[in-house]
Amino acid sequence: MANSLYPAYVLINYHSVYGTHKMIIPTRAWQPTNITGTMGSYTAWDTTQVDAEVMINALVATFQPFFLSTSAFDDATIYTLTSPTSPALPQRGAALTLPGTGTGTGQAKAAESHYSFRDTAFNLAGITFLDAPVNAGFARKDPAAFSVEDDALKLEFSAVNRAWSSRAGFRPSVLRKITYDMNGKLRREYGMT
């Protein structure tokens, strides 16, 4: 169903020196069977089985270079839904304790970076970072200007041996652009003028 978190998603809690944030990323159907970790598993887009912890840690590792060392990814919880309109049920969780590794000096406080994808059926999918430094100004970044770190995130989020999904239920496929802005809600929360 379009714009639904059904059948499952991962909620990632993270923080910066300024505040705490949540990131919700849809997935394919979750299975309670452990492979190497304790968070269950997924059937990847290529039909292989992938361990949930391996998948989550691999994606979060591609996020780390975008955040300062004063930020960290704290934990992840897997939620499932029995139907597109049912309430989300927590299934498994684990600590991440993965700090940022970036050294950017650009605006970080209340900054918002959005990675805009198309899935394999041309629906939108995305990943948003809050309080991550914007190092090259707030101009939109197109594919020709993507960094090695941008490409690593793109490859991990769209990999066929993973189970990340768009809200429409298809595999994220093409990273179209990266946009940067100041988040109005955070500006108010942080008392910025």
Predicted confidence (pLDDT) at residue 132 exceeds the cutoff of 70:
yes
**Phi, psi of 188, deg, nearest 5:** -65, -45
Predicted confidence (pLDDT) at residue 6 exceeds the cutoff of 50:
yes
Q: What is the DSSP letter of 170?
A: S
Single pTM value for the model: 0.96
Rounded to the nearest 10°, the torsion over CA 98, 99, 101, 102 is: 130
pLDDT in tens, 66-95: 999 999 999 999 999 999 999 999 999 999
pLDDT in tens, 20-38: 999 999 999 999 999 999 9
Quote the CA–CA distance of 138 and 160 in Å, as a whole number: 31
Break the chain down into helix, strand, coil percent, rounded to 5: 20, 40, 40
